Structure 1
Amino acid sequence: MGEHTDQYDVDLFVIGGGSGGVRAARIAATHGARVRIAEEYRLGGTCVIRGCVPKKLFVYAAHYAHDFEDAAGYGWTVEGARFDWSTLIANKDKEIARLEGAYRANLERTGVEIVAQRAVVDGPHAVRLADGTRVTARYILIATGGHPNLGLDIPGRELGITSNEIFHLERLPPRIVIQGAGYIALEFASLLATLGSDVTVVHRGHKVLAGFDEEIRERLADELAQNGVTFAFGATIESIHAVGAEKRVRLHDGRDLLADEVMLAIGRVPNTTGLGLDAVGVQLTANGAIVVDAESRSSVPSIYAVGDVTDRVQLTPVAIREGHSFADGVFGGKPWKVSYEVIPTAVFTEPEIGTVGMTEAQARAQGRRLNIYKADFRPLKATLSGRASRVLMKLVVDQKDDRLLGAHLVGPDSGEMVQLIAVAMNMGATKADFDRTMALHPSSAEELVTLRTKHHSSDPLPEVSSEATPAI
């Protein structure tokens, strides 16, 4: 990156100690940069402290409820099993503290200086800390992430909680109303219902998971309903009122719902308020996200941004890759750009969703002629457990060159499977590549390479779909 000069206190000042900021700081430091990172709360950001990691631990806890039920069909007798919320919370807190310590140790190992204060931009090449200290920097990286949207302008909004607070409740809420039907809302609806809460999801639309494949959306809603989640579609919360220890939730149609907690999960907002960005001319989108180019540079050449604060793709691995790309390009002399074309995504409901690439609707909107392959079957485990849940797999294939455009799965381990499908897609895999891959039997994943075809002439474009058949 060239020789240091004394013109600036540091080469890089990172505001925000989440996954993207920490990765950028570490990589820049390994390239020889003098790096300082400021985090006003806890290192690890949303994912580690109040997002992906604790959520997944909660999901694991919920899985045991069904595992105990399923065990009976396999000859096990499980007596006296009970769930204790406080134990889960305490053990989760220990793990989060361990991870935060690992983040700190990794930064310190590479020579990054950690500042446990809020920092704001104080010029194109300067930041000001909460204690008044002004630090100059050759480059500034904004990696402050986002926070839950509290934009519902309704009476009693302050009585609601978000995905932040739910990790710290003193007890499992016997009844909870959740506003929203995105992946955050549905993951908590699913795990809380499985743990024993009476869950009602309120959604102004009529389908869950906007942006996902239509058949996946429909299947998940059906499965969640079977698992005890109640849906109030076409509805919005008009007000929340405290009634003793309870909360009365008034819907727009006059219905009242009584709950112990009300969770607002209606999206997330970039953390740019009060950062001093306007004063230095950093361009923002209408919702407050930092506008950046393909190299993560803002409208101010010395200021960059990565992760959820840019509102590109709100996923932790994306923020990490953006941070790495930034550090390699600016400080390592080896620029490369992040590809957003094939990003695998999981929704950790029960059943789980794994998806990568285009939905059928997205592919059709591009005018492509498609072959659609589907498998819809009862998994082997369910034959003895008695569980009614089914697995749905769907491959979207371009007729022109047989290339796989998208894969959409609902069922156990879908996230694990779709991660490796993404590898194949990045290599340009075709349906023929899948067909000549030997099946691993018995497994759900084998259906991906044994799909059989059946034409449906009534479809608007030529289609191929399949039905899972025993691999015998």
Structure 2
Amino acid sequence: MAYLAGLAGKKIAIVEPRGRLLAAPTGWVSKVLREAGRELGSKDASRRADWGRVLSDFLEPTAQRAFALTDRTLEQLHAVSTACSVSILKGRAKFTGEMQVQVVDGSDEREPQRTVRAGSIFIATGSLANRLASLPWSSSRADGFLFDSDTIQSVGRLPRHVAIQGAGVIGFEYASIFRRLGADVTLFFREAAPLDVGIGIDSSVKQAVLRRMTKVGVTVLCEDGDIESILLPERKHGMGRITLANSGRTIECDVFMSAIGRHGNADTLDLPAAGLAAPVRGNLVHVEPSSMRARTAKDGLDFSMPVYAIGDCSYGSKITGMLLSSGQAHAAIAANHAFSLDDQRSDGRLKANTSAASGALFSDVSNSYPDHSAVALWTDPTIAYAGLSEEAAVAKLGADRVGAVKVYFTDTVKACVRPRGKDEFLKLVYTKDGGVIIGVSIFGSDASEIVQNVCSSINRGDTLWQIARSVPPAVTYQESLRTAALRAIHSVNVEQPEP
């Protein structure tokens, strides 16, 4: 968001509790741990990773590179626009009036409170982990044993046995990570399958995830997510015991991570003080999707104030929250609405257009946004999807109109050169009465590198014949998409069109 504002030549103030920006993706620690596990661990946990090397070779260097990238990005902002200035205010902000916030740095009582007024305000406070009230979070004996999906990033060691509660993406991600690093892992949840949490993942992917976790030695307990009791360790980093309510099963572990969803981080902002509506549905800011403007406290659906909410703290966007880059997409929409920007100049920079009340940045995404966005989950292996799953397509169109085909990556030339998991695949969903591609699901390494191309095909309304006649780059996994189209064509109820 700051970069887009910089392109418009705006003066920018960023309120950040740490006092320094970090150019890294949400949950960057888990992504680094995944890479560490791939190099230092093993798929079946037969080798335990050296945590000292995880820290020195992966976590610390990644943070240093991310901070350096942040510094370079800020330098680029000044290069793009000489009118742009960026101030980073250490502390937390809350509204004290319309278009006015107070910044308080709780770490330094000597630092005076600051009041900041702005022509546009962008809320990007993210989300926080849900915590079950029944768990002993405040107990001193829970220190180093009980974690949520935020605090697990500071675990600081490789546990012997990790118990993870939750069927969502974060639970699956950390189950894979800790197993790869060499820990024993038990994953338990209420749902019938991992990732069965209503985020549009195809059943084929869910089944593949369950088989993969079982294969590498993760103990998966489906429909057994409630806890009857917890016995905390007698000493720090000792073993505790969890007893499950449904089965009565006990789990001995030295780390317990409860990953049962997240909620918006907007409750401390005091939105009503600015004349904005109070947070909704788990501390989220209600926004108007075409502009990302926050709802005001006026009667009716009023979004007239230039306050915007982007990322995990917003509610009402048409862009899925599971998309890792959803915050960036929200920022583009908000910037298009907030700033008047003209065409690109001949020197490659953008110039401000002071004559218009609102403008477009790169494209008018506020009025014309793709129907489907690609979703990529940094799990191990990666999961990516776009459009409709087979189940969603059948529910929408009927089973007689929907076809699906699955191609394993082992059926590609690249897999002959670089072998990969035999269970990794691309699944294409299409209409039988026209061969229009309406969905894709990918399970496997490099899934995030493939999905955007297929998503573009879905949004264009491409058919199986168009994909089948395409020529992918040589020796790439894009070949799997063409193979899927070729295999599906025989089931489509129309004649092949003329070239």
Superposition TM-score, scaled by structure 2 size = 0.77
Q: Of 242, 249, 256, which residue of structure 2 is paired with 1:255?
A: 249
Alignment correspondent of 1:297: 293
Structure 2 counterpart of 1:274: 268
How far is the alpha carbon of 1:355 from its aligned partner?
1.2
Partner in structure 2 of residue 422 of structure 1: 455
* Equivalent residues of 2:324, 2:375 under 8 A apart: no
Cα–Cα, structure 1 residues 389 and 126, in superposed 2: closer, same or farther, change >3 Å? Answer: same
In structure 2, which of residues 163, 169, 181 is the aligned counterpart of residue 195 of structure 1? Answer: 181
Equivalent residue number for residue 94 of structure 2: 120
My pick for the range that moved more, 158-167 or 117-126, is: 158-167
SS at match of 1:291: strand
Once the two structures are superposed, residues 51-100 of structure 1 have per-residue CA deviations (whole angstroms, 9 ceiling, x without a partner) of 1x33222222222367799xxxxxxxxxx987312222233133223313
Tell me whether 1:87 sits opposite 2:112 in the alignment.
no
Work out the CA distance in 1 between the residues paired with 2:41 and 2:421.
Answer: 12
- The residue correspondences of 1:22-171 to structure 2 (distance < 5 A) are 24-41=1-18, 43-44=20-21, 48=24, 51=27, 53-64=28-39, 83-90=49-56, 91-107=58-74, 109=78, 110-130=84-104, 131-150=112-131, 152-158=132-138, 159=142, 160-171=146-157
CA drift at 1:366: 2.0
CA–CA distance in structure 1, aligned partners of residues 64 and 31 of structure 2: 16
Greater RCO structure (CA 8 Å; 6+ sep): 1
1:246 aligned to which of 233, 239, 251:
239
Instruction: Answer whether contact 1:297 1:304 (CA < 8 A) is retained.
Output: yes
Q: Which residue of the other structure, out of 193, 203, 206, is the alignment partner of 1:217?
A: 206
Residues of 1 paired with 2:415 and 2:210: CA distance? 20
* Deviation of the 1:167 alpha carbon: 2.8
The whole-number CA distance in structure 2 between the counterparts of 1:44 and 1:63 is 28
Select the residue among 402, 413, 416 that pairs with 2:435: 402
Residues 136-184 of structure 1: CA deviation (Å, up to 9, x unaligned): 222221111111111x122424532123333332311110001111111
User: C-alpha displacement at 1:112, in angstroms?
Assistant: 1.6
1:180 and 2:166 aligned? yes
- Contact kept in structure 1, 2:41 and 2:181, CA below 8 Å: no
For residues 373-425 of structure 1, the C-alpha deviation after alignment (integer angstroms, 9 at most, x for no partner) is 22246467888999874222210112344221111111232222213322333
Cα distance in 2 for partners of 1:260, 1:362 equals 40
Structure 2 distance, partners of 1:44, 1:419, is: 28
**Unmatched runs of 5 consecutive residues or more in structure 1:** 1-23, 70-79, 457-461, 465-472
Distance 1:163 1:422, change over 3 A: same
Q: Which region of structure 1 is more displaced relative to structure 2, 320-329 or 262-271?
A: 320-329
- TM-score, normalised relative to structure 1: 0.81
Letter in 1 for 2:168: G
* 3-state secondary structure, aligned to 2:10: coil
Letter in 2 for 1:412: S
Q: 1:386/1:43 Cα in 2 relative to 1: closer, same or farther (>3 Å)?
A: same
Secondary structure of the equivalent of 2:178?
helix
- Would you say the 8 A contact 2:184–2:218 is kept in 1? yes
Aligned to 2:301: none
Q: Does 1:447 align with 2:480?
A: yes
Instruction: State the distance in 2 between where 1:172 and 1:359 align.
Output: 36
TM-aligned CA deviation for residue 319 of structure 1? 0.8
**SS of residue matched to 1:193:** helix
CA distance change for structure 1 residues 377 and 133 in 2, over 3 Å: closer, same or farther?
closer
* SS of residue matched to 2:284: coil
- CA shift at 1:202, angstroms? 0.9
Aligned residues: 423
Displacement after TM superposition at 1:196 (Å): 0.8
- 2:350 corresponds to: none
Question: What residue identity is the alignment partner of 2:328?
Answer: I
State whether residues 295 and 337 of structure 1, in contact with CA within 8 Å, keep that contact through their aligned partners in structure 2. no
**399, 402, 407: which is aligned to 1:370?**
402
One-letter amino acid of the counterpart of residue 170, structure 1: G
The amino acid across from 1:398 in the alignment is T
In structure 2, distance between residues paired with 1:321 and 1:454:
33
User: In structure 1, the residue corresponding to 2:279 is in which secondary structure?
Assistant: coil
CA contact (8 A) 2:435 2:492 kept: no
Instruction: Tell me the residue number matched to 2:279.
Output: 284
Which amino acid is the alignment partner of residue 319 of structure 1? Answer: G
Alpha-carbon deviation of 1:308? 0.7
* CA 1:383–1:425: 2 relative to 1, 3 Å: closer
Amino acid at match of 2:17: E
For structure 2, the residue ranges without an aligned partner over 5 or more in a row are 79-83, 105-111, 297-304, 341-357, 494-499
CA RMSD of aligned residues (A): 3.1
Change (3 A) 1:284 1:398: farther
Alignment correspondent of 1:326: 334
Q: For 1:206, what is the secondary structure of its paired residue?
A: coil
The Cα offsets for residues 332-378 of structure 1, whole Å up to 9 and x where unpaired, read as 23243353632222233333322111111222222252221222464
